[in-house]
Amino acid sequence: MRYVNCRQLFLTIVNSTLTLAGHNASRVASSVGRPNRAPKRRQRSEVRIDALDNFEERLAKTMQTPLATTMLAFYASTHPSPQWQGFLTALAEEFESELDHAQLRQLMARIGQRFADAHPLGQCETIDDLATALNANWARLDWGFVRLADESDHLSLTHLCAPLAAFGPGADTWATAFLEGAYRRWLETLGADALTLKQVRAAGHTELEFRLAR
């Protein structure tokens, strides 16, 4: 069986929710490359940037809709291969029988750090470089994607579509430490070792936010 990838799901969510909100995505696509009516004709590249910026604003709202949440939850629960899901759920149950919550998070964070060491990012000069490198790693493994936002007092990393549901419904509170450990190690290698990365928000396994701050 061939499973839908995260990009396909993402585009489905965008088109479906924008349509329900009265903003069909085709209107955005059709506006790309078409100058607005104005006394002075603008360059095509300027119009394209404006259209994409507008699309990103709508997309940020789209990802917060109930439909988007439902679809992401469905993806997270069906994405893991049946070949591994039963094994990983049993493994998680055994972990939970032997370790407390804090120990489970420490274990998953160490696994995440080991994963990051095995998948280095390379040189990143800007936030855009970092986002590109991170998503290239996740895309190769079909492990979802991450959005970065440079806020005034922190760097926000929001990871979507991680297939952590394979560990079972009881693992919500500790399996996510895998991502925390991976992101912490990657950021440390880029010189952010004086800062602290913490998970601040979780919508099940489907949307996880981490913040890097002092």
The one-letter amino acid code at 167 reads F
User: Which of 16, 43, 74 finishes a domain?
Assistant: 74
CA distance 208 to 177: 10
**Domain match, 184 and 108 both:** yes
**Domain match, 39 and 134 both:** no
pTM over 0.75: no
- Confidence (pLDDT) at 23: 46
Tens digits of per-residue pLDDT, 128-139? Answer: 999 999 999 998
Per the CB < 8 A criterion, the answer to whether 62 and 18 are in contact is yes
CA distance 73 to 161: 8
**Domain match, 26 and 62 both:** yes
Tens digits of per-residue pLDDT, 46-79? Answer: 545 555 555 555 555 555 565 555 555 555 555 5
Number of domains present in the structure of the chain: 2
State yes or no: pLDDT of 159 exceeds 60: yes
- Confidence (pLDDT) at 28: 40
**Domain match, 86 and 123 both:** yes
User: What CATH number is given to the structural domain containing 205?
Assistant: 3.30.1380.20
Domain containing residue 49: 6-74
First to last CA, the chain: 46
In a domain, 1, yes or no: no
Burial bucket for residue 23 (CB in 10 Å: 0-12, 13-18, 19+):
middle
**Domain match, 64 and 146 both:** no
